[in-house]
Amino acid sequence: MFDLEQSNIPARAALTRGLSLIDIALWDIASKQAAQPLFQYLGGLRASAEVTQVAGYYIDQRSISEVADEISLLRDGGCRRVKIMLKGDSPAFDLKYVAAAMEKMPGRVAADAHWSWSTLTEARRICRDLDRFGLNFLEDPFAASDWRLTHELRRDMTTPIAAGEDVFGGHVISDLVGGIDILRVDATTVGGITGAIEAINLAAASGKTVLPHVFWPLHIHLACASPTVEGVEVIPAEYGADPLDRLLRNIPVIKNGEMSPSEEPGVGISIRWDAVDQLARRHVSITSDTNSGPPN
């Protein structure tokens, strides 16, 4: 894999995503051969981990009061931390939004800025006000490549900063993690389970924790195998924004704010190929007959 990476430097980001899937598959095979679920194969620290649920999807089509009611329902169902997505284009709206969310779960609301700002001046103007709410963390104030700006902003704030879901490579992660509080790791981006383990170890060496980026059927194994992984992130199925339930079988469920990984050997991810077939927009038939006609 190293030689393949070195020969594809210009396309490293896309290549790493592809290699990540291969690496995950290899770990799946290895843990199946050991007749263990992946989290046990990795050490089996605990049997369940805390769930952070994302609330307020499609806020441009909903009211703040609707999302506040949603947060109340999540809280009453045992959720211990929620994350909302800032609009980013209206500081007045975002401040009102955060205030309403924090009323429902004081100290247990995180906010994802999703690269809303491009300059420190712009970010400081709103983050000065956001800082007084006591957010659990603020995520991705700047683009992944602007980690130096993220570090500068962190020095101005008391609110913890989370970032990293789109970065890969040990050197980049090491640079980033030194100036943030929570590393966001995505095994499908960072180099598979191997890359995720490296990232988790780099965070631990800096005294920082990790919160994986969605893909909870996979990341729950990492959360149950490492003491510095806080838990997993879940986008509720009813949003339709991350329809894993339509494509996978036996997805781990949330119980009292926590989730347990599959006990099946391997990763425990089983694809519903009938659903893939139904949802596909294009079908391609690959055969050994070089004279076959164009794909369907």
In single-letter form, the type of residue at position 263 comes to E
Question: Higher pLDDT residue, 240 or 266?
Answer: 266
Share of the chain above pLDDT 90, in %: 76
Per-residue model confidence (pLDDT) at position 285: 79
Beta-carbon count within 10 A of 278 CB: 9
Average pLDDT, the chain: 92
The burial of 63, by beta-carbon neighbours within 10 Å (0-12 exposed, 13-18 middle, 19 or more buried), is given as exposed
Residue 3 binned pLDDT confidence (cut-offs 50, 70, 90): low
Residue 289 has pLDDT above 80, yes or no: no
Per-residue model confidence (pLDDT) at position 268: 92
Closest CA to 110 of 79, 136, 131: 136
Per-residue model confidence (pLDDT) at position 11: 52
Task: Let me know: does 186 contact 215? Beta carbons within 8 Å.
Answer: yes
For residue 240, being part of any structural domain is answered with yes
pLDDT per position as a tens digit, 219-242: 999 999 999 999 999 998 887 778
Per-residue model confidence (pLDDT) at position 10: 52
Q: What mean pLDDT is predicted for residues 43-65?
A: 95
Domain hosting residue 65, numbered range? 2-279
For residue 284, being part of any structural domain is answered with no
For residue 290, being part of any structural domain is answered with no
For residue 158, being part of any structural domain is answered with yes
End-to-end CA distance of the chain: 33
Q: What mean pLDDT is predicted for residues 256-272?
A: 94
Residue 135 binned pLDDT confidence (cut-offs 50, 70, 90): very high
For residue 92, being part of any structural domain is answered with yes
Per the listing, tokens 């006000």 go with: 129
- Domain count of the chain? 1
Residue 112 binned pLDDT confidence (cut-offs 50, 70, 90): very high
Residue 6 has pLDDT above 60, yes or no: no
Task: Let me know: does 183 contact 176? Beta carbons within 8 Å.
Answer: yes
Predicted model pTM? 0.89
Residue 290 has pLDDT above 70, yes or no: no
For the chain, how many residues are written? 296
Going from the C-alpha of 11 to that of each of 6, 15, 18, 144, 199, the distances in angstroms are 10, 6, 11, 17, 21
For residue 203, being part of any structural domain is answered with yes
For residue 288, being part of any structural domain is answered with no
For residue 233, being part of any structural domain is answered with yes
1-16 as b/e, with b when 16 or more CB fall inside 10 Å?
A: eeeeeeeeeeeeeebb
Helical spans, DSSP H, in 139-288: 147-156, 170-177, 187-190, 192-205, 216-223, 244-247, 273-279
pLDDT per position as a tens digit, 144-201: 889 999 999 999 999 999 999 999 999 999 999 999 999 999 999 999 999 999 999 9
Q: What mean pLDDT is predicted for residues 72-101?
A: 96
Residue 8 binned pLDDT confidence (cut-offs 50, 70, 90): low
Instruction: Give the CATH number, domain containing residue 50.
Output: 3.20.20.120
